[in-house]
Structure 1
Amino acid sequence: MSSIFISGAAEGIGRAVAHRFLAEGWTVGAYDIAPVSYSHPNLVAGHLDATDAESWDAALADFTAHTGGKLDVLDNNAGIIADGALAALPAPKVAAQIQVNALGVTLGARAAHRYLAATDGSQLVNMGSASAIYGQPDIAVYSATKAYVGGLTEALGLEWEPDGIRVVDIWPLWAKTKLSDNDATSVRRLGVHITPEQIAEVIWDATHPANRWQRGKIHYGVSLLDKAMYWARSVSPDRTARFVNRFISA
C-alpha cells in the first residue's frame, strides 16, 4: 500500500489531501500541532511541530513504523500567515512565518529524505503560493517564504535526483481556508475561489504523472488565473510585473 505523510493536516488543504489519498486506498499520515479530529482505517494521526527537528524525526518514525520504513510522498503542507505592513508587524509574527513556512519545510524535507530514498518512485511535494510569483505588499514575509519554497524545490529537485526522489511544488492563489481570512488587498481584488479539494486534486495529479514529459514538471498551478499569472511573469519585464502587482495589491 502506498503511503503519504502530510504536515498541517488537521484542517484546510492538508485535511483535503488526506481525504483524497485515503479515497484511493493509501496509508495516510495526518500530523499537525493541532489535534486531528477525523479518522479512517488507513489513517495514522499524530503530533508534529513543523519548526522542531526532533518533532519531525519522531513523527516520521511513528508513521513509517506502519509502512515498513518506506514513504512514497511527503506533503510539506504546514504554513501560516500574518498580514500587515512589515514595519508595523510584531517581530514574533515575522519570526513565526519564517520558522513555519521556510524552516519547517526545510526540516521536513531533511527528515524525510532517508525514508523517501528507501522507496522507489518517491516524491516530495512542497506547498508554495502564487504570492511568490511577484512579492506582495502587506503579506511580504509570507510571500518571501513562498519564494524560498520555490527555490528549495528547484534545488532539491537537482540534489535528490540521484536518489530517485522527484520534488515538486504547488502555487495556488487564495484558497477557501483560514489562511485567506486576512486583510491583504489581493484577497479583495482577486477573490477567494479555490477550494482545498481542488488543490488536493492537483496534488494527486502531480504525484501521478502520466508520462516522462509530465514527470519533468516542477511548479504546479491550480486555477486558470494563477497559471496565467505564472506564465505572464516568466515573460514580463520587471517593470511590467511591478505595475501589474501594484494594481492587484493597491
Structure 2
Amino acid sequence: MGQAEGRQSIFITGAASGMGLETTRLFHSRGWFVGGFDQNAEGLKKLEAEIGADNCLVQQLDVTDKPAFEKAVAAFGAATGGKMDILYNNAGIGAGGFFDEMPFEDNLKVVQVNLVGVMIGIYCGIGLLKATPGSLCFTTSSSAATYGMPGIATYSATKHAVKGLTEALSIEFRRHGVRAADVLPGLINTPILPDGAAANAPKEGMFRAIPPVEVAKVVWEAYSSDKLHWYVPPELAELDKAAGNAPELVREQIATTGPIARMIEEQAAAARK
C-alpha cells in the first residue's frame, strides 16, 4: 500500500511556493497524500515540516531533466501503491522584455521549463494515471494563452502551447480513462511576479491581483469535473472568447492601452531623440 496508506494522491511540481504550495496545503487538509516537487530545497523542507513527513513525499526536481523526473514518479508510485489521482504540472518560469532584445538563451529556458517540462511530466506520469480510475492530468497555462502578450512573448507562446496540448490530450487520453484540463490564471500574487506588480495592479477587473489559494480551489474542483479550461478569475473566459472572435481588435486594445503600450511609446520616443 505504501506511505500513502490508500489515500488519494496528487503529484505537484512547483510545490514549494505560490499556487503549488497552496494546492499542496488544500489537498493535504482534505486528506490526500501529496507529492511535492520543486528546485527550492529550503521551501520543500518547510513544506514537509508543515504538513508532516507521513503525509507527503518531497524531493528536489528539475522538470527539464527527464531521468530525474522518471525517478521522482517512481518514488511517488512506490509511496502510493502505483496510483496517481492527479498529476499537476505547475512549475513554470517567466522572463520579461521585448523579444528581440532578450538573450536567446533566456527565451529558450522559458520554453524548456514551461513547455518541455510539462511534456516530460506527462510522459513520465501517464503510466500511473492510466493505472488510477478517474485520474486527471492537470496543467497550469495562463491568461497569456488567451492572446499573445507583448513583453512576455515567449512565455505567452509556451502557455498557448500548453493550452493546445491539453485540448488534444483531453481527447487522446479518453482511451485510457484519463481526463486532461488546465487552469488559465490571471495576475496571481506569487514570487514569479515582478516586484511591485501585485501592489500596482488594478483593484477590480480581470487583471486584479488574486491570492494563489484561488487557483488551488480550482484544482480541487477540476478533479470532480469534466470541464476543460478553468479561468481565474472567471472573467478571463470573455477575453479568450474575444481574442478568438476578433484578434485584430484585441491587438489594438493591447497596443494602445496599458503598461506595454507605454513601454513601446517610451522606447520609440527615445529612438527619435
TM-score by length of 1: 0.91
User: What letter matches 1:231 in structure 2?
Assistant: K
Please list every run of 5 or more consecutive structure 2 residues that lacks an aligned counterpart in the other structure.
1-6, 262-273
Show structure 1 runs of 4+ deviating over 3 A. 187-192
**2:268 alignment partner in structure 1:** none
Q: Which has the larger radius of gyration?
A: 2
Partners of 1:229 and 1:191 in 2: CA distance: 11
- 1:17 partnered with 2:23: yes
The residue matched to 1:220 in structure 2 has which SS?
Answer: strand
Partners of 1:82 and 1:8 in 2: CA distance: 17
- 1:218 partnered with 2:228: yes
- 1:200 partnered with 2:216: yes
| 1:79-94 matched pairs, under 5 angstroms | 79-94=92-107
Partners of 2:246 and 2:96 in 1: CA distance: 27
User: What letter matches 1:123 in structure 2?
Assistant: L
Decide which of 238, 254, 260 is 1:228's aligned counterpart. 238
Contact kept, 8 Å, 2:201 with 2:209, in 1: the verdict is no
Identical counterparts, % of pairs: 36
Deviations 1:83-133 (A, max 9, x none): 001111112211110000000000001110111001100001010000110
Decide which of 151, 155, 165 is 1:142's aligned counterpart. 155
Q: Which moved more, 1:106-115 or 1:217-226?
A: 217-226
Partners of 1:230 and 1:194 in 2: CA distance: 19
Shift of 1:163: 0.2
Deviations 1:121-165 (A, max 9, x none): 000101000011000111000000000000110111111110000
Contact kept, 8 Å, 1:134 with 1:245, in 2: the verdict is no
Partners of 2:240 and 2:219 in 1: CA distance: 18
**Matched length:** 241
Partners of 1:62 and 1:201 in 2: CA distance: 26
| 1:58-207 matched pairs, under 5 angstroms | 58-181=71-194, 192-207=208-223
Please list every run of 5 or more consecutive structure 1 residues that lacks an aligned counterpart in the other structure.
210-214
User: What letter matches 1:21 in structure 2?
Assistant: F
Partners of 1:48 and 1:224 in 2: CA distance: 32
TM-score by length of 2: 0.84
Contact kept, 8 Å, 1:176 with 1:192, in 2: the verdict is no
Deviations 1:56-88 (A, max 9, x none): 100011111110011010000000001001111
**2:265 alignment partner in structure 1:** none
Decide which of 238, 242, 248 is 2:247's aligned counterpart. 238
User: What letter matches 1:15 in structure 2?
Assistant: L
Shift of 1:198: 0.5
